[in-house]
């Protein structure tokens, strides 16, 4: 669990759990309040499962001293095994994107999970993500890959 605490902790240390002062930041997360509640509840579940993990305890202590929002949510004692759900974000170009989320346990790697995010097929979110994905397509790489596959 120590590795997981470090992996989770570093981004959380740099990510505010208080409402961002930049109005565009809070607009990106359409369910900001629910999202933060989920993060803290999942963290509490992990803390219960790994009560003697020093890195995790240190992370919780640091977040408690740096964020009033975290302290309030932590004090609520909510625990959540976040396995399925819906996530919504507001992208500055394509607008609101909604994806379903599902978490899968990896039996070969105890304690590890795989999180899958997928839009509803043929939905506006599916179209928006396809548009964004097309912007990352490199025509040169596609031509090279096609040339390799024909020989």
Domain extents in the chain? 1-82, 83-151
User: What is the per-residue pLDDT across 39-49, written as a single tens digit (0 to 9) for each?
Assistant: 888 889 889 98
Share of the chain above pLDDT 90, in %: 30
**Contact predicate 103/113, CB 8 Å:** yes
The C-alpha R_g of the chain, in whole angstroms, comes to 19
Average pLDDT, the chain: 79
Q: Which distant-in-sequence residues (6+ apart) come within 8 Å of 5 by Cβ?
A: 46, 50, 53, 55, 56, 58, 59
d(CA 14, CA 81): 24
Question: Based on the number of CB atoms within 10 Å of its own CB, is 43 exposed (0-12), middle (13-18) or buried (19 or more)?
Answer: buried
4 pLDDT band, cuts 50/70/90, is very low
The reported pLDDT for the residue numbered 117 is 92
């Amino acid at each position: 669990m120590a590795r997981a605490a470090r992996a989770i902790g570093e981004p959380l240390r740099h990510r505010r759990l208080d409402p961002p002062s930049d109005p565009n930041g809070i607009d990106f997360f359409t369910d900001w309040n629910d999202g933060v509640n989920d993060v803290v509840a999942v963290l509490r579940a992990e803390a219960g499962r790994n009560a003697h993990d020093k890195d995790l305890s240190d992370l919780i202590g640091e977040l408690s001293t740096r964020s009033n929002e975290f302290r309030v949510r932590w004090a609520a004692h909510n625990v959540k095994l976040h396995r399925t759900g819906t996530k919504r974000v507001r992208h500055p170009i394509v607008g609101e994107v909604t994806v379903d989320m599902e978490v899968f346990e990896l039996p070969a790697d105890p304690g590890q999970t795989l999180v899958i995010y997928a839009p509803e097929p043929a939905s506006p979110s599916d179209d928006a993500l396809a548009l964004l994905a097309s912007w990352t397509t490199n025509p040169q790489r596609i031509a090279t890959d096609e040339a390799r596959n024909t020989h």
